[in-house]
Structure 1
Amino acid sequence: MVLSRIYWQRSQLTHLNFNPPRLVQVRLNQNPQYYIGNSISRARTIMMSDHLNATGLTAEESRKLKSRSEREDEKTIIRCLKELYSCKPSEKSYEMYAENATFHDPLTIATPLSMIKSQFNGMPKMFSSSTIDKFELLESPPTLPSPPGPDQFTVINQDVTYYRDGSKLKTLNSLITLERDPKGKVIRHTEEWSHDKVTDKSDGFIGQLNEWRKKVAAEVIAKLVPEEPPKDTKEK
């Protein structure tokens, strides 16, 4: 949850030594343009998938999603999120989560719920306050499944400004993607700064290292910050 952005530049060279079977060689000779074009198309698809965020879209595409009004089943979720991102966590702020929930942002991967609590309970220790300047519920894109009932996704675009001792530190734009179970509880909370994809082990060796670093960071925070919300943020 630290505000300084961390940029990773990743380059990957793949060298393939492949002698295709005779049948493939014949087909390549017969229609080389088709096979070359198809290979390029597949390569582009793989490269694009490296940049897809939790909504299954690129950052540019998810920024274009239309806003919508809240559903009745989202009222608790919205209340909890606004409390957490306003640096005012309470026990009720975690009602939206399932016990086995996972929180993933550019810096940490926290699971289960007890570790998620430590991430947000530590925010008031880092920042004197924060304000939610923009909070937009977005239409779920067709790249996300849309089952009936509460077992579905909630996608949010938000701007949060963080302060320390009354001084503005930074305004951070984030894409929030929440996945819920059949009971309506959040099982996965993904926060992506500027809508840019968060990396994990599915992104190859560098992604695997990144996931390990994030899990270690979450464990360290959990040891330093208790599950119980700070006293001055509890409901009176």
Structure 2
Amino acid sequence: MVLCQPSIQITRTTSFRRMSNAKPPLYHGCVPKEVVFVSTTTVSNEKPNASGLTPDQTRALPERSVDPNSPEARIVRSLRELYSCKAQNRSYEIYTRDAVFHDPIGTARGIDSIRAQFNALSKLFPRINVLKLRVLKNPPGTPANLLLIDQDVAYFRDAKAASPFKVVNSLLTLQLNDANQITRHTEEWDHDRETTPDDGFLGMLKEHRKRTTATLTDV
């Protein structure tokens, strides 16, 4: 014998809605007074990063090839030099004079501040290796002047160490002008818009930057 349940108790739901035009199901001849249809569709709470996409979306973007003679190739070469602390004067030619650099530590405005920021890294880390630098394929709808790069950088406190002190994955979102120079350079760790404030590596870099680059504005 099956007993009719007068009500249905829902203990966990992600979202629900009433279906006024839906025909309620029968429970062995009994019709509940109210039927609640539960939707299991989940909505991502991830905030878009500088590319306008979510971190999961940019992490899933495929790599694309770059013409070795193109302006993009020159930008990639310069970025490798900058992030490995092997920059030359020409390395900074990829930026406009008033370019803005933003990362989880702070914001550098103008080419002189950007130069000071990269130069300061070599004082804290005697060895920095760019393990991976991939130019990503822009999805439909992305501005043509946007260059997206996924990179892994290894930071060593001891130049002779077998393993790095820290490996940081980040998304570089580069906005270019008509001359293929960078007007805005945004670096986001793990492709995330926000970085946890209790990250020990983040705190160490912030303190070092305050001591060595007075022209930078922390955020």
Structure having the larger proportion of residues in strand: 2
Partners of 1:136 and 1:189 in 2: CA distance: 16
**How far off its partner does 1:221 sit?**
3.9
Distance in 2 (alpha carbons) for counterparts of 1:153 and 1:218: 28
The answer on whether the counterparts of 2:120 and 2:209 sit within 8 Å (CA) in structure 1 is: no
Aligned match of 1:82 in 80, 86, 92?
A: 80
Identity within the alignment, %: 40
1:190 aligned partner: 186
Q: Does 1:93 align with 2:91?
A: yes
Number of equivalences: 161
Higher relative contact order (CA 8 A, sep 6+): 1
- C-alpha displacement of 1:92: 1.4
> For 1:1-236, what aligned pairs fall within 5 Å after superposition?
51-71=47-67, 72-146=70-144, 152-165=145-158, 166-167=160-161, 168-198=164-194, 221-223=212-214
For 1:90 and 1:79, the matched residues in 2 are separated by 11
1:143–1:109: structure 2 CA closer, same or farther, 3 Å change rule?
Answer: farther
| Cα distance in 2, alignment partners of residues 59 and 218 from structure 1 | 27
Q: Distance in 2 between matches of 1:218 and 1:163?
A: 17
Report deviation, 1:143: 4.5
For 1:68, what is the secondary structure of its paired residue? Answer: coil
CA contact (8 A) 1:115 1:219 kept: no
Does the C-alpha gap of structure 1 residues 224 and 102 become closer, same or farther in structure 2, counting only changes over 3 Å?
closer
Cα distance between partner residues in 2 of 1:112 and 1:219: 17
Distance in 1, matches of 2:179 and 2:211, equals 31
Q: Normalized per residue, which structure has more helix?
A: 1
User: Residue deviations 1:129-183, cap 9 Å, x none?
Assistant: 111111111011235212xxxxx11111011111122332011101011111111
| TM-score (normalised: structure 1) | 0.62
In 1, the alpha carbon distance for the partners of 2:133 and 2:103 equals: 18
Ranges in structure 2 where 5+ consecutive residues have no aligned partner: 1-19, 21-42, 196-205
Q: Of the two, which has the highest radius of gyration?
A: 2
Give yes or no for contact 1:56–1:143 (8 Å, CA) kept in 2. Answer: no
On the 8 A contact 1:105/1:198 being kept in 2, the answer is no
Q: Which ranges in structure 1 are unaligned for 5 or more consecutive residues?
A: 1-30, 32-43, 147-151, 200-214, 226-236
- In structure 1, how many angstroms separate the alpha carbons of the residues matched to 2:49 and 2:141? 11
